[in-house]
Structure 1
């Protein structure tokens, strides 16, 4: 499943005075967990950022929210003080994944993550959820072994018993490394626990209610918070929603159709330009792209670093570019070069997706992604359902279909999933704004519609357009609605459509 959220690394530029600390809020603390909510935070200048703009701390959380004595973990937190003076309060953020670093996106570009109006009004809080990045993290393979896991091409033909056996063995090696190197945290890396951690952050930051902006997977985290703590919901915006009620198989199937739709939109745009490597109609160009994928599947292209670009890595690069319309020019270059036998730009896009740079991995987002999804999604698929899903993807997403299904790493995960797939109503919560984009490939628009309908206080804002998520993407209608709600508390009109 590709429920991630890819974001640009845009430098931050602002000036602010570090925020004062507020007294912890201890109302409604679960019995036995008082010491966690009453801890005093030790803020200091962040490493690698302008100390005039940011300060950082670590928050100690329980390893197991059902047992306060089971051990502890650390949560890395970064705070950018409100530029406009007195802050409304804290605005917690999550960029998606699961596994993306909320710390890094605020450190590298708070303006990209939340926009100027919100960073003026709030102390913006980025944090790495449990299992992620600078927090107590999932650790698996070193860079060389990770390259082998992600990029090595099986010796046997796609779909054969040998191909499946090799991928299964590769998954087992990855999972064994995660279990050996993660210090016992794997069974506790769940969205339910991460949402409880988020309430702890709210309390120790001194906020009576949670104000929150979550993207992509961050919408599931935010909706889970609202399910657990509806009375503590302040102003929540969930952008690029995941439907919490649908099973894993349907998630993957719907995303395949979403990426095919986005790929067709890209192809239509490409054909209208002067440098497109394809010609003819969208249908004929998609068939030619399918031929390219089949070609590199049969005869992978060797890159300058020795890696071989096969169809899986090229498809990963295609998917990475489809997250944002601004990346379409890079996709055109990658496909043009692949047609000429050059894999370099295909790997540049694939490496961007995997967080890889110069042979090193910048974060543990892939490891954390697997850890969360394997614990959050029950495995309840029978062969008939799988066959029906495969047939639908083959019919509706023929370009993507041959490279969509692999061998699920979660079938070898060492712990059974504890998550449930169910509708979330969050009865009693304040209004929750859900933003959906009509041709979002990663979190299809129908999921935003569904989540807004499920939530008792859900309010839907629609961005008509391409790409993943809707806020701070150049649509002033969406931006104005989100900012008026988070800053002034003005609830948007339910059903607002922003062209």
Structure 2
């Protein structure tokens, strides 16, 4: 039977807050009314324009202080999208979600999930809430660093030259990038765009939605948001599902190296899968796959490949296209095709994968995902200012992910964060959560981007339960794996956590 479309929602204003504890000086925010209306004006991408036209969705703007240390100062807004619970009489509350990044749109993710969840138990019992974190997507003002043309140009420059002159050139570009971010975004927003402030916005949203306790679903970087919220507001938590965990106590360099090792494991799995096919772009010996990949991609450092429509595939884009495909086995055949094409001199398919990674649409417009990723990263993580430390980090990354080694010596070039115009506001630390209710951490054994061990450590730090998924992909909840979906749903609805050592396997 086809899913019945929800009836169109009418514009209306709700004032359901303040609910729960209200920090001093923030009463106007916690008790604010939300004016709900059509979502079309909030669309920022081609795909959003299609999904936000759903008449069963409604959107509003949440007001929050730009600087929580000065709540009477400048006000900014957070874009919020809601898919109301199908059974309002039996509704448990709202389920806020964040898809990660940092820089990804929670509004877009909620809109894409709304249809499939409509007739599920989650869709019946929760209002599904997607929000765009401050500075991101439809939230205003937005972080913006590069124009579309400048982003295209940056992707063509692979910065592979690691000689002293090459490092100096790379650092000039990184310094210029940081300056453009400051000029086009403003240092005040850049200084207050980190996870520390996002979780405060989430608590304001919790109250304005009328929820005494928070229900939260965080993917990838969204697990860092969840861990930070649990530390700041442990008494305000009802339930948290954290899928694809970041280890909150791990340094940025150690995270990067662990991620490189994760992508290498996913590449090795791809190579085994590919070798079993009748035709494989990397040949039929998985042990030779790294060398074959390097043979195909390294020439791009000096000679980008034609990719159609006047565009070229750089070494950087070939690498990022491969990384994009390694996030999920459903993209492996596209990666195989792209590498086979590249052998013949065409970069079209790998460039399309890289466009997806960088959130570039077919008209050449970018969302601000990459700009926001850099802005959050530069205030959330400790900066590496020592060139020798940078060189050692690059050496470790190449060792962990040899398929991504371009053949040049490790680079001492510092990234844009070394030149960032505002101070760091976060630091790696295991959360101290106090009296936190049981949480559910889901970790995938072959997750390329957030390695399995990080989930184990986060579950321990939060004194929560770990659900292990045996597979090779990045995040898994609500992606059609019945065992995982059932366990996560039961937890969110009934607060029943899985048994110790619970595991699910791929289909």
TM-score past 0.5 threshold: yes
Structure-to-structure mapping, 1:155-304, within 5 angstroms: 158-183=161-186, 184-304=188-308
* Residues 158 and 460 of structure 1, relative CA distance in 2, 3 Å threshold: same
Report the CA distance between 1:400 and its aligned residue: 1.7
1:39 paired residue number: 32
* Residues 109 and 13 of structure 1, relative CA distance in 2, 3 Å threshold: farther
1:487 paired residue number: 493
Report the CA distance between 1:237 and its aligned residue: 0.3
Report whether the alignment pairs 1:324 with 2:315: no
Secondary structure at the counterpart of residue 234 of structure 1: strand
User: Do the aligned residues in 2 keep the contact of 1:16 with 1:83 (CA within 8 Å)?
Assistant: no
Q: Deviations over 1:169-204 (max 9, x none)?
A: 222232222211214311000101000000000000
Of 370, 389, 411, the residue aligned with 2:418 is 411
Report whether the alignment pairs 1:309 with 2:350: no
* Residues 330 and 112 of structure 1, relative CA distance in 2, 3 Å threshold: farther
1:7 paired residue number: none
Of 6, 24, 28, the residue aligned with 1:15 is 6
* Residues 396 and 51 of structure 1, relative CA distance in 2, 3 Å threshold: closer
* Residues 424 and 153 of structure 1, relative CA distance in 2, 3 Å threshold: closer
Of 401-410 and 200-209, more deviation after overlay is shown by 401-410
* Residues 304 and 130 of structure 1, relative CA distance in 2, 3 Å threshold: same
* Residues 54 and 359 of structure 1, relative CA distance in 2, 3 Å threshold: closer
User: Do the aligned residues in 2 keep the contact of 1:143 with 1:359 (CA within 8 Å)?
Assistant: no
Structure-to-structure mapping, 1:381-396, within 5 angstroms: 386=390, 388-396=392-400
1:476 paired residue number: 482
Q: Deviations over 1:442-478 (max 9, x none)?
A: 111111011001113x110010001100212332111
Of 461-470 and 353-362, more deviation after overlay is shown by 353-362
Separation in 1 of the partners of 2:284 and 2:293? 12
Report whether the alignment pairs 1:449 with 2:456: yes
Structure-to-structure mapping, 1:130-169, within 5 angstroms: 130-136=134-140, 137-153=142-158, 158-169=161-172
User: Do the aligned residues in 2 keep the contact of 1:256 with 1:401 (CA within 8 Å)?
Assistant: no
* Residues 134 and 13 of structure 1, relative CA distance in 2, 3 Å threshold: farther
Of 116, 122, 125, the residue aligned with 1:118 is 122
TM-score norm. by structure 1 comes to 0.92
Of 304-313 and 387-396, more deviation after overlay is shown by 387-396
Where in structure 2 are there 5+ consecutive unaligned residues?
Answer: 41-48
Q: Deviations over 1:370-400 (max 9, x none)?
A: 0100000012575665555444434342212
Separation in 1 of the partners of 2:183 and 2:88? 47
The alignment's C-alpha RMSD in Å is 2.2
Separation in 2 of the partners of 1:289 and 1:64? 47
Separation in 1 of the partners of 2:352 and 2:213? 42
Separation in 2 of the partners of 1:90 and 1:426? 22
User: Do the aligned residues in 1 keep the contact of 2:78 with 2:139 (CA within 8 Å)?
Assistant: yes
Of 422, 431, 442, the residue aligned with 1:435 is 442
User: Do the aligned residues in 1 keep the contact of 2:61 with 2:77 (CA within 8 Å)?
Assistant: yes
Of 257-266 and 180-189, more deviation after overlay is shown by 180-189
Report the CA distance between 1:311 and its aligned residue: 1.8
Of 285-294 and 12-21, more deviation after overlay is shown by 12-21
Q: Deviations over 1:280-299 (max 9, x none)?
A: 32111221111112222232
Secondary structure at the counterpart of residue 426 of structure 1: coil
Report the CA distance between 1:303 and its aligned residue: 2.5
Separation in 1 of the partners of 2:119 and 2:380? 31
Report the CA distance between 1:488 and its aligned residue: 1.9
2:56 paired residue number: 53
Report the CA distance between 1:108 and its aligned residue: 3.5
Separation in 2 of the partners of 1:223 and 1:307? 42
Report the CA distance between 1:207 and its aligned residue: 0.2
* Residues 363 and 209 of structure 1, relative CA distance in 2, 3 Å threshold: same
TM-score norm. by structure 2 comes to 0.90
Q: Deviations over 1:42-81 (max 9, x none)?
A: 1112215356411111010011112212311100101101
* Residues 385 and 152 of structure 1, relative CA distance in 2, 3 Å threshold: closer
